[in-house]
Homo-oligomer: A and B are copies of this chain.
Amino acid sequence: MEHRLTETISLLARTPAALNALLRDLPEIWTLRNEGEKTWSAFDVIGHLIHGERTDWMPRAKRILESGESRPFDPFDRWAQEQESLGQSLEQLLDEFVRLRWENLNELRGLNLTEQDMERRGRHPALGIVTLSQLLSTWAVHDLTHLHQISRLMAYQYRNTVGPWGAYLGVLQCAGHSA
């Protein structure tokens, strides 16, 4: 489990740089377009990831360590970025995501979590009892689910330009899988 935390942190440390390398200074067709009404652009996703750094992952980890099951996590606002990203450029958001993730991983490493800590339990407002290990694993897979989404929504912009090759391109068959 200690080893798994190392693997989790390794991934969490790389996704901001990967998204920065992919998205910075890209033409707006790739970064500002979405998949239709009530869907997100890459710009929206980075805002969502920033809100998670501020209010979700480390605050919930500390809630588990401080209060256990007695005090549920605060609910997460999936649409907070609509207001928070207003007036910002994608490049500003990418910088902010890099900075917040860096700070959060420094704080996480500083907790010196033990294998026993990883089994400590907290209460999710909808899912019920969860462990610190599950929370930190989810933080990493949450990065991946949004990388999956970004690759899909970017591909969507070229859905008509690839012609007959569309049949071979799995990403164009993906309609998303969110609950």
Residue ID in chain B nearest A124 by CB atoms: B164
Interface: A172 (CB within 8 A): yes
* Residues B128 and A145 in contact, CB atoms below 8 Å apart: no
* Residues B10 and A14 in contact, CB atoms below 8 Å apart: no
Within 8 A of B (CB), among A1-34: 4, 6-7, 10-11, 14-15, 17-23, 26-27, 29-30
Interface: A36 (CB within 8 A): no
Given contacts A163-B131, A164-B130, contact A170 B151 (CB under 8 A): no
Of the listed stretches A61-69, A79-87, A133-141, chain B binds: A133-141
* Residues B144 and A151 in contact, CB atoms below 8 Å apart: yes
* Residues A179 and B167 in contact, CB atoms below 8 Å apart: yes
Number of chain copies forming the complex: 2
* Residues A170 and B148 in contact, CB atoms below 8 Å apart: yes
What B residues does A163 contact at CB under 8 A?
Answer: 130-131, 134, 137-138
Given contacts A171-B145, A179-B168, contact A7 B21 (CB under 8 A): no
